Amino acid sequence: MLTPGMPLQAALIPDCSELEAHRAAYKKAKANDAIFVCIARHGQRWKVQLDAMASRKPLIPDQSMTVLRSAAEALVLGGIAEQINIGADYISMWPIRTEEEARAIAATFHAAMHGLQQLHILV
């Protein structure tokens, strides 16, 4: 059983290719006080999006976001994604070749953001 606000498994990452699906998934994340995560079709490829602002919990500190930025940059260097956009509370990566890759990346970054947020709250 999945607890609201917990990291999502790859198979449960919502496909927000349609605007209404995006709105519904973001609304659900806010209602569950969770970090928003989704994948969306980006032409023939896929995009991964995460947004910590959906959660009312403290934002992830810059030092922690540096770790996530390094991981995202490694995906670009490895040819998995071509572009990344990372802010204090937001991550997006695209284009990613397959839906399966996008789901795996989204789930991994979602778990990492969740863990870093929880660590920040604890400390």
Exposed/middle/buried for residue 105 (C-beta within 10 Å: 0-12, 13-18, 19+): buried
Total structural domains in the chain? 1
4 within a domain of the structure (yes/no): no
Please, which pLDDT band fits residue 6 given cuts at 50, 70 and 90?
Answer: confident
pTM attached to this predicted model: 0.92
For 87, the domain range is: 13-122
Residue 95 belongs to domain with CATH number: 3.10.310
The model's pLDDT over 49-96, given as tens digits with 9 standing for 90+, comes to: 999 999 998 888 888 899 999 999 999 999 999 999 998 889 999 999
